[in-house]
Amino acid sequence: MSGITERDLTDFVYREARLLDELRYEDWLALYAEDGHYWMPAEWQQTDPRLQASLMYEDVLLLRIRVERLSGARTFSQKPKSRAQHLLQTPQVDEMNTDENRYRTFTPFHYAETRGDEFTIFAGWARHELRLEDDRLKIVLKRVELVNFDAPFGNIQLLM
């Protein structure tokens, strides 16, 4: 995949959402670069995940722990298991910088999560910062900005 196209980037975003919807967490985790992060800011236009509180800021190690918890037989909070569906608008390519190996996308979404009789809907924007590693796109940063980030809500069990 040496010549990245806009189609490659949009297909990547759709594939990532599908992996999450199909509960294929190990395959999803493999999309991350070793230094990758998943970030859900707690404030509008937040610029720093370390100096400001975030709803979620996880490196690959913490994501692995989350995946193991979601897949674990003794994870009683996941009986019955949560399920999710992403409804994505067409991802927009914000940057294609092959010289610096940096690619960025922006995707508005609706996300539904259910477990038992609980049903929750979130809306927001996903921003992916990607790079090419060993001829494969990898997530360096996935930033999920919720429209209602400042509203009270329960635990988010899965990943958007």
State CA 63 to chain mean position distance. Answer: 10
Which residue segment(s) compose the domain that 76 sits in? 6-146
Task: Identify whether 152 is part of a domain.
Answer: no
pLDDT tens per residue across span 112-139: 988 788 888 889 999 999 999 999 999 9
At 100, list the tokens: 């610096």
- Per-residue pLDDT band for 84 (boundaries 50, 70, 90) equals confident
Among 24-33, 80-89, 105-114, 139-148, name the one with the lowest average pLDDT.
80-89
What's residue 73's pLDDT? 65
- Per-residue pLDDT band for 100 (boundaries 50, 70, 90) equals very high
Give, rounded to a whole angstrom, the gap between the first and last alpha carbons of the chain: 26
Task: Identify whether 91 is part of a domain.
Answer: yes
Q: Is the pLDDT of residue 1 over 60?
A: no
pLDDT tens per residue across span 13-51: 999 999 999 989 999 999 999 999 999 998 888 889 888
Residues 6+ apart with CB under 8 A from 118: 154
Q: Is the pLDDT of residue 152 over 80?
A: no
Task: Identify whether 21 is part of a domain.
Answer: yes
CATH code, 141: 3.10.450.50
Task: Identify whether 61 is part of a domain.
Answer: yes
Round to whole Å and give the CA distance between 151 and 8.
Answer: 35
Task: Identify whether 158 is part of a domain.
Answer: no
Task: Identify whether 12 is part of a domain.
Answer: yes
Specify the number of domains making up the chain.
1
Residue with tokens 């949009």: 10
Task: Identify whether 153 is part of a domain.
Answer: no
Task: Identify whether 129 is part of a domain.
Answer: yes
pLDDT tens per residue across span 55-83: 889 999 999 998 888 776 666 666 677 78
